[in-house]
Chains A and B, each alone.
Chain A
Amino acid sequence: MHDKTVTQLAAALKSGELSSRELTSHFLQRIEKADGSLNSFITVTAEQAMSQAAAADKARADGKAGKLTGIPLALKDIFCTQDVKTSCGSKMLDNFIAPYNATVVEKLRAAGTISLGKTNMDEFAMGSSNENSHYGAVKNPWDLSAVPGGSSGGSAAAVAAGFVPAAMGTDTGGSIRQPAAFCGITGLKPTYGRVSRYGIIAYASSLDQAGPMARTAEDCALLLNVIAGHDVRDSTSVARGVPDYTETLNAPLSGLKIGLPKEYFGDGLDPEVEKAVREAVKVYESLGATVREVSLPHTHYAIPAYYVIAPAEASSNLSRYDGVRFGHRCDSPLDLQDLYTRSRAEGFGEEVKRRILIGTHTLSEGFFDAYYTKAQKVRRLIRQDFLDAFEDVDVLMGPASPTPAFDLGAKKDPVSMYLQDIYTIAVNLAGIPGISVPAGFAGGRPVGLQILGTHFAEAQLLNVAHQFQQATDWHTQLPAFAEENA
């Protein structure tokens, strides 16, 4: 069962071949047995999951089942869940139980899906390797000495390991697409505002977006159908109709115009990764697409701009963790300042502190214009690069990451870690959607092909990704770890 897609499992549930209880207990057993070596979950909610599975089976017996009723999933531990701890990978929130559900969680519940638990992540979603979690690093099921990517590393590893058929992640600078690439699964970052951010713990509010992570584009389409849409509780969510993303999956690709940004094939790109990506592009040509080189001239400035804007927003977003109303509070504070400074120093990890300090510094008097205003101007130029490119081509393709998953502990210097996100980060600054699909291997570790579309082009991205998966079988390959723990 663990190697099946959501689509396949939904069919099996519908036909009565399987019950949700069987399915749920099967996945729970796999987690129980093998997550000790991956550390992909922070919290497993076995009991609640089994009772939800029983309710799903009853709904099905009563003829009230929807497409996804009874399907087990996992949630990145950044989605607030009523009555279940939401830690955001931080000691600061180790004791935090939200009194509400995120809108995404509500929608998934309403669709009848079952949460098996909360997955590990880089603290406050700040990281590209999942080594920044208070709950320890997550390992890549393809190679336990490699990172799974981040910040949604737990969700990616759990899907790759066959602990769940799909999981929810969030993506602020590549946090869905890069771990999906590293773990050989499919991960979609929707257009900014397509999915409600309500109840998702904020890292950088103008960049954060939630999306599905699964084996296939088809599964991502099913899940996006559920979570997309306007939310009155999120001012930045977009009031725009949600199409049925599964309906256009099989549209033919003949005449599709693909652009290859030349900046995405430059220095620092691992040759094997490049080879895999170029092979994938050939597959598209065989499907009738045309390919041309395009330029995104400000690509080089995306990481610098991001490391002003994201930390600035984060420094403000994380001010609410002050030890007063929730979260970690230091022992016996001497006075108010001691309460603040010690609670925060104890509750936050190193990377979070670095970003709070950078953000505070760049927003402060005398630096604001040179950093923040400048970065916002560059942000406009970066967005314009994409809009210009989409005048000429339908989608852009390139690698999701310059290298396959690197070894745990390999990147000690924060800047070298940041540079990993060179191909994903501009997408968040521009607010456009992107998807990473498995496209081969480099040194035995998965390679992700990233496909980008213009604002609200999710249906097209899913169609383009799905057609690739109809023509290739990279997405069906499982790590040995998943089989050994069957």
Chain B
Amino acid sequence: MALEESHVRRAAHLARLAVSDDQASGFVDDLSRILDMVDQLQSLDTDGVAPLAHPLDATQRLRADEVTETNQRDAFQRCAPAVENGLYLVPRVVE
């Protein structure tokens, strides 16, 4: 499956990565080679094989519905780039 620059542009948009024109062509080269390598998968017959998401056949454990966390806003916001009145600030979101 050949990779085109439009694919890289679309992935960069979905992943919110700024990519310059120069970088885009470099990524097309690198990613194409990676995908060529990945495409070896297509030669393998996997009919009837169930996908495996986790290496162990374990199931989800459930947590009791208890409030165990306390307010640590100050500690958490110490590493925040911009806060005011306890809110995280971002450039205006237009609805």
A and B touch in the complex (CB under 8 A): yes
Q: Tell me the A residues contacting B by CB distance below 8 Å.
A: 95-99, 191-193, 206-207, 232, 235-236, 238-239, 298, 300-301, 303-305, 307-308, 315, 319, 322-327, 329, 333-342, 344-345, 348, 353-354, 356-358, 360-362, 364, 367, 370-371, 373-381, 383, 413-415, 418, 428-432, 455
B interface bracket (residues with beta carbon within 8 Å of A): 35 or more
CB-CB under 8 A from A304, the residues of chain B are: 37-41
Question: 1/0 per residue B1-24: CB within 8 Å of A?
Answer: 101000110111011111100000
**Nearest chain-B residue to A334 (Cβ)?**
B91
Q: Which of B8, B46, B55, B88 has the most CB of A within 10 A?
A: B55
Cα-based distance from A370 to B3 in the complex (angstroms): 14
Cα-based distance from A356 to B12 in the complex (angstroms): 9
Q: Main SS of the interface on chain A?
A: helix
Cα-based distance from A96 to B80 in the complex (angstroms): 9
Q: Evaluate whether A335 and B40 lie within 8 angstroms (CB atoms) in the complex, with A367-B1, A380-B52 already known.
A: no
Cα-based distance from A426 to B93 in the complex (angstroms): 44
Q: Evaluate whether A97 and B42 lie within 8 angstroms (CB atoms) in the complex, with A236-B54, A376-B51, A377-B51 already known.
A: no
The answer on a CB contact under 8 Å between B79 and A238 is no
Among the listed B3, B56, B58, B78, which residue makes an inter-chain contact with A361, where contact means beta carbons less than 8 Å apart?
B3
**Nearest chain-A residue to B60 (Cβ)?**
A235
The answer on a CB contact under 8 Å between A357 and B92 is no
CB-CB under 8 A from A193, the residues of chain B are: 55-56, 58
A-B contact number at CB 8 A: 178
**Nearest chain-A residue to B37 (Cβ)?**
A415
A354 to chain B, nearest CB (A): 6
Q: Which of B35, B72, B75, B76 has the most CB of A within 10 A?
A: B35
CB-CB under 8 A from B61, the residues of chain A are: 235, 239
Question: 1/0 per residue B43-78: CB within 8 Å of A?
Answer: 010100111111110101101000000001001101
**Nearest chain-A residue to B15 (Cβ)?**
A360
Q: Evaluate whether A360 and B11 lie within 8 angstroms (CB atoms) in the complex, with A96-B79, A335-B91, A378-B46 already known.
A: yes
The answer on a CB contact under 8 Å between B40 and A373 is no
The answer on a CB contact under 8 Å between B46 and A337 is no
The answer on a CB contact under 8 Å between A414 and B34 is yes
**Nearest chain-A residue to B75 (Cβ)?**
A99
The answer on a CB contact under 8 Å between A344 and B52 is no
Known contacts A207-B55, A235-B61, A361-B8, then 14 further A-B pairs from the complex at CB < 8 Å, ordered by chain A residue: A97-B79, A99-B76, A192-B56, A325-B76, A325-B80, A336-B92, A345-B17, A367-B1, A374-B46, A376-B51, A377-B52, A379-B52, A381-B44, A418-B37
Among the listed A236, A305, A358, which residue makes an inter-chain contact with B35, where contact means beta carbons less than 8 Å apart?
A358
Cα-based distance from A193 to B76 in the complex (angstroms): 28
The answer on a CB contact under 8 Å between B34 and A370 is no
